[in-house]
Amino acid sequence: MQITPTAIADVLVFAPQVHGDERGYFLETFRESHFKERGIDLSFVQDNQSKSGQGILRGLHYQLKFPQGKLVRVLSGEIFDVAVDIRKSSPTFGQWVGETLSADNKKQLWVPPGFAHGFYVTSESAEISYKCTEYYHPEDDYSLLWNDPALAIEWPLVSAEPQLSEKDSKASPLAEAALFD
């Protein structure tokens, strides 16, 4: 497994070694020791899967009382996956990183607790699977505005406006959002 830090060192890209032959392929998607070797001592407690069509943007979601770390991968299709540092005390506060994840490249993105997370579907559809370090708590669910000029996220939009949920269309800009201290 090749593990590469992004422009925000806490956010990591995991690129697995794929063992393939005429029968298909095998790859390892998670190994606890890879996290522990980097000082990340968290347990995964919930696995989630979603499917979305092209042009759908989900996020930027986070929880404050029960922050989730997420290990995100794509089972089919392709997405542009984004992590935004919302830890006020962080030197990278308000900065974002994005990574193209696909069924073809088999990369995964580690989004630590304290980050808002979202993705945009660039293929016809995409199925996403992610491991979480905390359970989902609907009463602790927040969303940052996807197109907040203060964040200036460079989404690779395939159309003028992405399709959003009602919740995401009413999300808060960074300046007005409830954030981590």
8 Å CB contact between 87 and 48: no
For a pLDDT cut of 70, what percent of the chain falls above it?
99
Residue boundaries of the structural domains of the chain: 43-176
CA distance 96 to 8: 8
* Strand, helix or coil for residue 107: coil
Q: Provide the terminal-to-terminal Cα distance of the chain, rounded to the nearest Å.
A: 33
The amino acid present at 14, given as its one-letter code, is: F
Active site residue 130: yes
The CATH architecture of the domain made up of 43-176 is Sandwich (2.60)
- For residues 98 and 158, the answer to whether their CB atoms sit within 8 Å is no
Residue 160's pLDDT is 78
Residue 170 has pLDDT above 90, yes or no: yes
Q: pTM to 2 decimals?
A: 0.92
pLDDT at 35: 83
Structure confidence at residue 21 as a pLDDT band (50, 70, 90): confident
pLDDT at 18: 87
| Catalytic option among 62, 117, 120, 130 | 130
- Cβ contacts of 39 within 8 Å, gap of 6 or more: none
> Of these residues, 19, 61, 117, 137, which one is catalytic?
61
Contact yes or no for 79/128 (Cβ under 8 A): yes
pLDDT digits (tens, 9 = 90+) for 133-153: 999 999 999 999 999 999 999
Does the annotation mark 61 as catalytic?
yes
Q: What is the pLDDT of residue 114?
A: 96
Give the distance, in angstroms, between the CA of residue 111 and the centroid of all CA atoms in the same chain.
Answer: 5
Question: Is the pLDDT score of 23 beyond 90?
Answer: no
- Distance in angstroms (rounded) separating the CA atoms of residues 105 and 27: 12
Q: Which tens digit of pLDDT belongs to each residue from 77-112?
A: 999 999 999 999 999 999 999 999 999 999 999 999
> Rounded to whole angstroms, how far apart are CA atoms 114 and 112?
6
Q: 125 pairs with which residues across the strands? A: 53
